[in-house]
Structure 1
Amino acid sequence: MIQGSRRAFLIGASAAAMAVVAGSATACSTTGGGGDSNYGGEIPPLPAPLKNELQQLADSRNIMGCSVSAVTRDRTVYADAWGTARAGQPMTTRSTLNIGSVSKTVTATAVLQLVASGRLAMETDVNDVLAHSKIYGPRSVRSPHHPDVPIRVGHLLTHLTPITSPIEPGPYGYSYRAGEVPDPAEMGRWLHDFLTPAPRGWTYDAERNFLKTVPGEAHQYSDIAYDLAAHIVQAVTGQYFSDYCRDFVLRPAGMNRSDFNRDQLPVSDRAHPHAWFVDGVKQGMWPDYRNLIPQSIPDDFTGHAEYAPYTSCLVADGGLRSNAIDLARWARLWLGEGTIDGKQVLPRHIASAALANQVPERILASSEAPLPFISQGYVWHRLRGDSEGVWQHAGSEFGTATYVMLDTKRGVGAAVVCNTEVAIDADPRVQMLQRLLDAAARA
């Protein structure tokens, strides 16, 4: 799950891309199809009783469209979908949308590949990389409260930096907008302005952009730390982040319909974000940004609102577009300790380290993260109540909700992809995942 910093003050809405879709939760239950013989092979749909149970859970929370998958180390056991992807289009197992913070698991993988090849180390001071970058961005990043303490690569992947996001509206929220995909150089420019002291950094604020904690000594979930990690990838490789991930992470993993660049994916496969309104009031986790809705919302409106497929230059922390089929492969890669179908994306010892606790218990005990962390690996984490061997990452963006869970003891995994925002206290995804993991274990 992600914390309140991941807000979107979305600008420049495209009226042609948006519509208000009236209807009830029951109206979203149209079957969207199961396994797709043209994409990912012949994958069985869910057994009818299980699909009905999951669909009821989703419908009870007014989720417009949902796709799911369940895997073992060796195969995708089930993939299925139901509901509406966007106006006039059914949700399918290949419907793509921004998956929120699950994106961080791909960003971390890009960094881990550079560690595996010896081009980075977890102890590397980020300034040693930034100072030699040929891609524009911050040349140095230090906490203004602890200027002599380095921020290290490992801190970025384990949420041990003091880098935070200011209260919205602010530069983080203003990075979101409808319309064209940002130039790939924009992320570096944004990070430069946010992390470089004035007068060079236009949005730098020592009090709002940094907590007063010592780097490496406090755990707080940070979106911008992952955007900085992506810029480190750019600085080391000389290749824009989205291009690097496509070439060295996503395509080698067989995730052929996933990308950080929306325009690399077929328009026909795109799902749009949605929110559920009751008597004119938006439900869900995040604030109400009606600038994305071309029509006014009447005070008595109850139904779904379809929003523009917004973009941001800060894709690395939550902007990957993906789907249930590709996330099934992603789960299999991690269950396979970095390898899927004979293709190694990460060395085994690096993948194993990502699924092992990297943060001392004393630090996690006082974590500023919004959920009860009991283990923090490299990006993946465990929460209070998780069974032994369970590692997970959730993602929630404005109008979307995604979750991937691994059970390494049983060798099974699952993914849930929803194109509707859910409320933090009414989230059906964990229950859905547990049913999918059990089904995979029985297969």
Structure 2
Amino acid sequence: MKQLTDSKKVLGCSVSVVSRDRTMYADAWGTARAGRPMTTRSTLNIGSVSKTVTATAVLQLVAQGRLSLDSDVNDVLRQSKIYGPQAVRSPHHPRVPITVRHLLTHLTPLTSGPEPGPYGYTYRTGGAPDPAELGRWLHDFLTPAPRGWIYDPEQNFAKTVPGQAHLYSDIGFDLAGHIVQAVTGRYFADYCRDHVLRPAGMNQSDFDRDRIPRNHRARAHAWYADGVKTGMWLDYRNLIPQSIPEDFTGHAEYAPYTTCLAPAGGLWSNSTDLARWARLWLGSGTIDGRSVLPGSVAAEALTGRVPAEILAKSEAPLPFVSQGYAWHRLRGDADGIWQHAGSDLGTATYVMFDTKRGVGAAIVCNTEVAIDADPRGQMLQLLFDAASGS
């Protein structure tokens, strides 16, 4: 696999493979950051795989009877103990409620707004943001003017009817994270640490970057060839720590960055912990005898929750054939496969598990990959075949 990642200019990578009851294989290669090798404990921002943890936090509250999936989010937000939006409605369909279930299945009209714009500028170098910033930002983004100073009715909301169109939405999951705050009165990162991550044995993972020991933090990278950066380039985030000469070829290291919009993509983790996360789902919400989510709720999360005719019209970047609560299946997946990819500036991750064969795998890369040069699919196939003896 090292030859595969080297060919795609991935600087550092780690992988882990699990069965329902143990880690079967773990390895790492390359460079985590200048002067440090990549290890299976090297931790970085895993991007959208974070959504599966956010969904689990919400589902825990549902299982406890503190929240209903069919609740209008406005009924929850009005009772919030933490500052944030008090009501969220599409300006194009103001009488149609957005429900908690809509958030977890990408059935909202919530978009990330204009580019460049407020969403991109939440990415900053330096220390972790104040935990209250999530609620404040969502208030300003989702609350009509004059109270919401970055509200844009045309660009922050698609014209689709809530519940009737599948639109992959980061903002939807950020709002789901705030729903956790609204119900519990605890900041999102603190709740997830105590009720999801630590009970799952993910002791090296956190939504608060500054809780990750510095010597375990990998750095995000990008590859430049003859002055052209390849990969998923979003230049308005402006996080490159140095100017790049036009004739530069090589890896450029991003300055460490964070964002207040953690529920959709801000978890810091590594392949060891993410493999445990796969084990938990292979165990129907239980790992090493500890239940994080009731089995019936975990089973519901891994069941198609969006009608096929809606998914067929989805404008998501991937060919969805089944949408559960955050987890999904893509065209070509064997029966029993559930997955979620993640990427952010300088990172590329993947978690996939097969409930039929009882195996799962996690991949963590500290370099952006281009859509047409992504090694993760081939790597997962190799890992799954080896784990199942194929």
Question: How many residues get paired?
Answer: 390
1:430 aligns with 2:354: no
From 212, 219, 230, give the equivalent of 1:272: 219
**Matches of 1:277 and 1:288 in 2, distance apart?**
14
| One-letter code aligned to 2:62 | V
1:220 paired residue number? 167
**Contact 1:67–1:80 (Cα < 8 Å) also in 2:** yes
Partner-residue secondary structure (3-state), 1:226: helix
- Percent of paired sites with the same residue: 76
Partner-residue secondary structure (3-state), 1:71: strand
Q: How far did 1:287 drift?
A: 2.7
Deviations 1:346-389 (Å, cap 9, x if unpaired)? 00011011111000011001012111100000000011111111
**Matches of 2:258 and 2:112 in 1, distance apart?**
18
**Matches of 2:315 and 2:240 in 1, distance apart?**
34
Which consecutive segments of 4 or more residues in structure 1 shift more than 3 A?
288-291
**Contact 1:72–1:441 (Cα < 8 Å) also in 2:** no
1:160 paired residue number? 107
Partner-residue secondary structure (3-state), 1:105: helix
**Contact 2:241–2:253 (Cα < 8 Å) also in 1:** no
Partner-residue secondary structure (3-state), 2:194: helix
Deviations 1:323-344 (Å, cap 9, x if unpaired)? 0110110000000000000000
1:89 aligns with 2:36: yes
**Matches of 1:289 and 1:276 in 2, distance apart?**
18
1:122 paired residue number? 69
1:203 aligns with 2:203: no
The within-5 A match list for 1:10-409 is 54-288=1-235, 291-409=238-356
Q: How far did 1:428 drift?
A: 0.6
| One-letter code aligned to 1:412 | V
**Matches of 1:151 and 1:106 in 2, distance apart?**
21
**Matches of 1:397 and 1:292 in 2, distance apart?**
12
TM-score normalised by L of structure 1: 0.87
**Contact 1:282–1:288 (Cα < 8 Å) also in 2:** no
**Structure 2 alignment gaps of length 5 or more:** none
**Structure 1 alignment gaps of length 5 or more:** 1-53
Partner-residue secondary structure (3-state), 1:111: helix
Q: Given the superposition, is the C-alpha separation of residues 174 and 289 from structure 1 closer, same or farther in structure 2, using an over 3 Å criterion?
A: closer
Deviations 1:225-248 (Å, cap 9, x if unpaired)? 000000000000000000000000
Q: Given the superposition, is the C-alpha separation of residues 210 and 290 from structure 1 closer, same or farther in structure 2, using an over 3 Å criterion?
A: closer
**Matches of 2:141 and 2:318 in 1, distance apart?**
26
